Chains A and B, each alone.
Chain A
Amino acid sequence: MNAALHRRAKELFLDACDLPPEERAGFLAQRCGEDAELRSAVERLLAHDGAPSVVAERVVHEQLASLLDEEGARALPAEIGRYRVLGLLGEGGFGTVYEAEQLEPVRRVVALKVLKPGMDSRQVLARFAAERQTLALMSHPCIATVLDAGITADGRPFFAMERVLGVPLGRYCDEQQLDLASRLQLFLRICGAVLHAHQKGIVHRDLKPSNLLVATVDGSPLPKVIDFGIAKALQPLEPDADITRERGLFLGTPEYVSPEQAAGELDIDTRSDIYSLGAVLYELLAGTTPLERETTRQLGLPALLLRIQSEVPPRPSLRVAEESERALAIARARRTDPQSLARALRGDLDWIALKALAKERAERYQTVSALAEDLERYRRGEPVLARAPSFAYRSARFARRNRAALLAAAAMLVLLLGGIVGTSLGLVRALRSQGAAEEAQRRAETFSEILLRALASGDPLEGGSVDRRVSEVMQQVVAELDAGALRQHPATEAEVQMRVARTLLGNDHPAEGLPLAERALALYTASGPERASDTARARSLVAIHLDRLGRTSEAEPLFRAVLDARRAQQDGDHPELAYALRGLGVVLQHRGRLDEAEAHYREALAMERRLHPEDHAEIASALNNLGSLLQSKGRSAEAEASFREVLEMRRRLRPEGDPLTARALANLAQSLLAQRRTAEAEPLAQEALEMFRRTLPTDHADLAIGWTSVAFAQQASGRAAEAEAALREALALYRRNAAGDHHQVAGALANLADLLLGSRRDEDAEALLGEALAMLERLFPQGHPLAVRCGANRAVALLRTSRPEEALEAAQRAAELGRAILEPTHGLRVQTEKILAQVQSAR
């Protein structure tokens, strides 16, 4: 608007404003004519004539009040109580902090925190006095003690405390450009201080960076937690939750206050501090508070409370992943770049921070030491206890132990690569139930808690180790369950049964786990429709056991039932449904119904991609399923593409490498070998072996996957002797881990026999296959696809060693078994029939 228009509008407004409203339109039409701009300007003024609030005065008065408020607070009194004021240290939300000198009984310099006017000073002092004895118990180098409290001449409460020369934690870290490791170290020292206070029964209630001051002492940072005891003293004596909520009297800082404290709940305990520590950790890592400061500051109280109580913050790694100036600055302050920072945070650190920030305090770390220990585990590169809200992490860790039944390079027969998925499914499933199991755990009596933990400790998939003593404990538990120890608690018994079954499955003992899983299924089925989800869980577990036992025809209907149940439980995409789709896909793949399996895998994969908009362990697993299937179909180039994506995703998820990434390398190598791209395959296989060695204990069975993969590459490039040595390493590893009959041992025997057949060492091969078949018959009395393969190959070996009658017998048995347990189109069955025909014609 220009000045002339403004003035014209003003004149017309003044002429029109005293006219009766009904005459105004005519007046304006006459005076403004065609000038629509002028008319609208006048109408705008008329509309605001006599506006109810006189905004300018109001704003000016408010501003003056706030200005004077600040000035008044800044006024430097000469003395406060028996302290001589030396200077102003700072101003905070509470009030003003002065540097002051105490003259008696000892002469020392202290910090005096004088609170803003507006509260009942006597009550504050009374509450502080009540806390004083407790506060005096604290003695920790990282805690600044509150020494004294009093009332100023003008009636305001003040606290005298140890003067700390330091800057707020976040500022210190950014100014010093501390990297993640140094930040965590500093944070752990703060945890130590808070733990000390908690052990004395003191909750801070207002932990935030400005109460965590850091100074450089002797060249290293020394953190100090200040203000212990103050927040509690300021808390109303008899807080009324409703009034608190209504009037916004809650004490704390919106970005760091726990939901229960924000809601004005009465029983604030140490876990409230754990939440605040979580928020501090989050900001240290990602440079942003969990609930963004910019947005919390614009919310009204009800909206703010709602956010604090319900909004789950994004994972810290997502905060730094964006490409912006801000992300760049945050990363730079941590001596890295946004991509590397996001990678470093993704996973363990994400989950540790989010676990500490759980809305429900029962879901947080229960003690500061638990939080600190998890961070220490992270620093040592050990698995952390925190887990993602989804089951991604656990599944990744479970799948780590999957037995990759790698495709035999020998062109003769197809080994069941899909076997890997069966295992992984069991593990993924196990994981998922973890959440529910934990829920149950909380409710269960202490003994069952201890029991479950003891049982899980025997599961190498959960960071435990195969340990005879644990196995014995487990057998004892099973015996106790059989004796009816938990008969009164069917749900608990079912969970324990499933837990034991999963541990057995994790150790590749499906035959022993099956009865337990079946018992759990029976228990849940008996407890009616409200247990439908648990029933589906147990049914999946039974199906996985059956699949692993080669009883795929029994597994299939079970998985179909699970799938139907999941579809009935919830519309649309959900993780349980995606899981069930994959489970059925695995069974179908094992049954040789590859097209159906592919359809299920693709549906599951698409769903996982929708459920997880970015990299996710579940997407990688689903892709791996699809890759293995495409490999079985001989579509190696497509399999290669899938495995490459799996590999890349896992490398992003775990840049430091892990057994799952190693497995992806091995699978990719296999798909390249199938395309006769030996030169490309071998380095990948070597890298897989190297990564397995780096990330697993020396004797871990999964090292065998690495050896097998390398062996196949060497075999393909004609280095049979090296390949044989590698396969014998794999066999030895499986034998050491299995201590007896095991399908992995049988698989390793079969792989070695294939190699020997290729070198025309037919007699040696025949002996190995004989051993494998005997083992498989003991393991899988109802037959197993691997037995079909071994039988067919043994027939070839017998034929070559001029034993045609035995060859025919072996081929016929293999073909019969194939017809019994495999679909007519199954590659293995087709190949076996061809071998039978050859053996027959050779006679």
Chain B
Amino acid sequence: MSPLTPEDITRALERAAEGHGSAASELLPVVYEELRRLARSHMRRAAPEHTLQATALVHEAYLKLVRSAPEGWQGRAHFFAVAATAMRQVLANHAREAQAAKRGGSERLRVTLSGEIADERAGRDFDALSLHEALAKLAELDPQQYRVVELRTFTGLSVEEVAEVLSISTATVKREWRAARAWLAAELGEPGGDGAEPPAPRTEA
């Protein structure tokens, strides 16, 4: 894929802002390409021991994209709404590809040099697929709750930011989020909780 020009990005963001149905898929290559670019540059700089800070990277990508947003663009609310969906699609595709590669019996060394074991990898792909399936289910059952999850999970937005993007109260976001987490945990067969709300891990943007 050839590098995206600022014009490409601007055009995608404009289309997203105009509310095109295909906006998410327009934005997908933008998000994707930006992530790839960042990953490559990080890898080049990285010492062998360097661990990629995925969250930091994502936010770096968003910041970059947001900065590219054209003048007069309706604002970050729309952008995040679309970008979250794009991001989810990127990762869903990635999970499916990883799974397919496994089924295809590709000759990957599953026991890797870094001591990471194959089955962990397999388990992760499985988790990822289950997560995406669960999210698709949630999108049908409860669109608003789904949007909260999508924004919180795939963009790392704060409760307040999600409330702003979705034009709902922060209390509602908190409630939806709490219920959604319980629902997802149940769907994905996670062990039960103790009823206490753990701090949501997120990076300050």
Interface residues of A in 161-198 (CB under 8 A from B): 168
Are B179 and A116 within 8 A (Cβ)?
no
Question: Which residue on chain A has the smallest CB distance to residue B53?
Answer: A65
Chain A CB within 8 A of B119 CB? yes
For residue A74, which residues in chain B have a CB less than 8 angstroms away from its CB?
A: 36, 40
Interface residues of B in 63-99 (CB under 8 A from A): 90-91, 94-95, 98
Q: How far is the CB of B128 from chain A (nearest CB, A)?
A: 5
Are A208 and B107 within 8 A (Cβ)?
yes
Report the interface size for chain B: residues with CB under 8 A from the other chain.
74
How far is B183's CA from A269's CA once the two chains are assembled, in angstroms? 54
Are A234 and B182 within 8 A (Cβ)?
no
How far is B119's CA from A297's CA once the two chains are assembled, in angstroms? 6
Are A119 and B124 within 8 A (Cβ)?
no
Chain A CB within 8 A of B127 CB? yes
Partner-B contacts on A (CB < 8 A): 1-3, 6-7, 10, 13-14, 17, 21, 44-57, 59-69, 71-75, 77, 92-94, 115-119, 121, 153-156, 168, 208-210, 234, 247-254, 293, 296-301, 304
Are B43 and A75 within 8 A (Cβ)?
yes
A sample of 20 more A-B contacts (CB under 8 A), given A72-B46, A115-B113, A155-B47, is: A7-B142, A14-B175, A17-B182, A48-B183, A51-B192, A52-B193, A56-B181, A57-B200, A63-B91, A67-B39, A68-B38, A68-B39, A73-B43, A154-B43, A154-B46, A249-B113, A249-B115, A254-B111, A297-B119, A298-B122
User: Can you report 10 A-B residue pairs in the complex whose CB atoms are below 8 A from each other?
Assistant: A45-B186, A51-B182, A55-B188, A56-B149, A64-B57, A117-B50, A118-B114, A208-B107, A296-B110, A299-B119
How far is B143's CA from A6's CA once the two chains are assembled, in angstroms? 11
* Count of chain A to chain B residue pairs whose CB atoms are closer than 8 Å in the complex: 228
Question: Which residue on chain A has the smallest CB distance to residue B47?
Answer: A155
From the candidates A44, A57, A118, name the one contacting B48 in the complex (CB within 8 A). Answer: A118
Question: Which residue on chain B has the smallest CB distance to residue A21?
Answer: B195
How far is B60's CA from A174's CA once the two chains are assembled, in angstroms? 46
- Which one of B45, B52, B95 has the greatest number of beta carbons of chain A within 10 Å? B52
For residue B192, which residues in chain A have a CB less than 8 angstroms away from its CB?
A: 47-48, 51
For residue B58, which residues in chain A have a CB less than 8 angstroms away from its CB?
A: 64
How far is B196's CA from A50's CA once the two chains are assembled, in angstroms? 5
- Which one of A59, A69, A121, A234 has the greatest number of beta carbons of chain B within 10 Å? A59
Chain A CB within 8 A of B27 CB? no
Q: How far is the CB of B174 from chain A (nearest CB, A)?
A: 10
From the candidates B43, B111, B202, name the one contacting A252 in the complex (CB within 8 A). Answer: B111
For residue B140, which residues in chain A have a CB less than 8 angstroms away from its CB?
A: 3
Chain A CB within 8 A of B191 CB? yes
B111-140 interface mask toward A, CB cutoff 8 Å, 1 = contact, 0 = none? 111111111011010011001000000001
Interface residues of B in 6-28 (CB under 8 A from A): none
Q: A67-B90, A117-B46, A248-B117 are in contact. Are A10 and B179 (CB under 8 A)?
A: yes
How far is B47's CA from A92's CA once the two chains are assembled, in angstroms? 21
For residue A252, which residues in chain B have a CB less than 8 angstroms away from its CB?
A: 111
For residue B40, which residues in chain A have a CB less than 8 angstroms away from its CB?
A: 71-72, 74-75
Question: Which residue on chain B has the smallest CB distance to residue A46?
Answer: B182
Q: How far is the CB of B160 from chain A (nearest CB, A)?
A: 18
Question: Which residue on chain A has the smallest CB distance to residue B153?
Answer: A56
Q: A52-B193, A251-B113, A298-B119 are in contact. Are A61 and B54 (CB under 8 A)?
A: yes
Q: A7-B142, A64-B91 are in contact. Are A254 and B118 (CB under 8 A)?
A: yes
3 closest Cβ pairs, A-B complex: A93-B109, A72-B43, A75-B40
Q: How far is the CB of B52 from chain A (nearest CB, A)?
A: 5
How far is B109's CA from A717's CA once the two chains are assembled, in angstroms? 70
For residue A248, which residues in chain B have a CB less than 8 angstroms away from its CB?
A: 111, 115-117
How far is B121's CA from A248's CA once the two chains are assembled, in angstroms? 14
Partner-A contacts on B (CB < 8 A): 35-36, 38-40, 42-50, 52, 54-55, 57-58, 90-91, 94-95, 98, 102, 105, 107-119, 121-122, 124, 127-128, 131, 140-142, 145, 149, 153-154, 175, 178-179, 181-186, 188, 190-198, 200-202
For residue B190, which residues in chain A have a CB less than 8 angstroms away from its CB?
A: 48, 51-53, 55
- Which one of B40, B102, B122 has the greatest number of beta carbons of chain A within 10 Å? B40
Q: A46-B182, A116-B113, A117-B48 are in contact. Are A72 and B195 (CB under 8 A)?
A: no
For residue A254, which residues in chain B have a CB less than 8 angstroms away from its CB?
A: 110-111, 118
For residue B94, which residues in chain A have a CB less than 8 angstroms away from its CB?
A: 63, 66-67
For residue A253, which residues in chain B have a CB less than 8 angstroms away from its CB?
A: 107, 109-111
How far is B193's CA from A21's CA once the two chains are assembled, in angstroms? 13
Are A65 and B54 within 8 A (Cβ)?
yes
Are A117 and B193 within 8 A (Cβ)?
no
From the candidates A1, A67, A92, name the one contacting B141 in the complex (CB within 8 A). Answer: A1
Are A118 and B185 within 8 A (Cβ)?
no
How far is B181's CA from A47's CA once the two chains are assembled, in angstroms? 11
For residue A1, which residues in chain B have a CB less than 8 angstroms away from its CB?
A: 141
For residue B141, which residues in chain A have a CB less than 8 angstroms away from its CB?
A: 1-3, 6-7
Q: How far is the CB of B99 from chain A (nearest CB, A)?
A: 12
Are A72 and B95 within 8 A (Cβ)?
no
Q: A14-B179, A154-B44, A253-B111 are in contact. Are A118 and B186 (CB under 8 A)?
A: no
Are B153 and A66 within 8 A (Cβ)?
no
Are B43 and A45 within 8 A (Cβ)?
no
How far is B118's CA from A13's CA once the two chains are assembled, in angstroms? 38
Question: Which residue on chain B has the smallest CB distance to residue A52?
Answer: B193
How far is B110's CA from A300's CA once the two chains are assembled, in angstroms? 11
Q: How far is the CB of B103 from chain A (nearest CB, A)?
A: 9
From the candidates B44, B49, B57, B119, name the one contacting A118 in the complex (CB within 8 A). Answer: B49
Q: How far is the CB of A118 from chain B (nearest CB, A)?
A: 4
For residue B201, which residues in chain A have a CB less than 8 angstroms away from its CB?
A: 54, 57
Question: Which residue on chain A has the smallest CB distance to residue B57?
Answer: A68
Q: A21-B195, A209-B107 are in contact. Are A116 and B112 (CB under 8 A)?
A: yes
How far is B41's CA from A154's CA once the two chains are assembled, in angstroms? 11
From the candidates A2, A49, A56, A298, name the one contacting B193 in the complex (CB within 8 A). Answer: A49
For residue A2, which residues in chain B have a CB less than 8 angstroms away from its CB?
A: 141
Are A75 and B39 within 8 A (Cβ)?
yes
How far is B200's CA from A105's CA once the two chains are assembled, in angstroms? 58
Are A14 and B178 within 8 A (Cβ)?
yes
For residue A55, which residues in chain B have a CB less than 8 angstroms away from its CB?
A: 127, 131, 184-185, 188, 190
Question: Which residue on chain A has the smallest CB distance to residue B176?
Answer: A10
Q: A10-B145, A54-B201, A248-B117 are in contact. Are A48 and B124 (CB under 8 A)?
A: no
How far is B118's CA from A409's CA once the two chains are assembled, in angstroms? 69
Are A49 and B178 within 8 A (Cβ)?
yes
For residue B105, which residues in chain A have a CB less than 8 angstroms away from its CB?
A: 293
How far is B119's CA from A248's CA once the two chains are assembled, in angstroms? 12
How far is B46's CA from A73's CA once the two chains are assembled, in angstroms? 12
Q: How far is the CB of A40 from chain B (nearest CB, A)?
A: 11
Question: Which residue on chain A has the smallest CB distance to residue B198?
Answer: A50
Question: Which residue on chain B has the smallest CB distance to residue A95?
Answer: B113
Q: How far is the CB of A71 from chain B (nearest CB, A)?
A: 4
Question: Which residue on chain A has the smallest CB distance to residue B194?
Answer: A50
Q: How far is the CB of B27 from chain A (nearest CB, A)?
A: 17
Are A72 and B42 within 8 A (Cβ)?
yes
Q: How far is the CB of B44 from chain A (nearest CB, A)?
A: 6
From the candidates A59, A117, A300, name the one contacting B131 in the complex (CB within 8 A). Answer: A59
How far is B98's CA from A632's CA once the two chains are assembled, in angstroms? 68
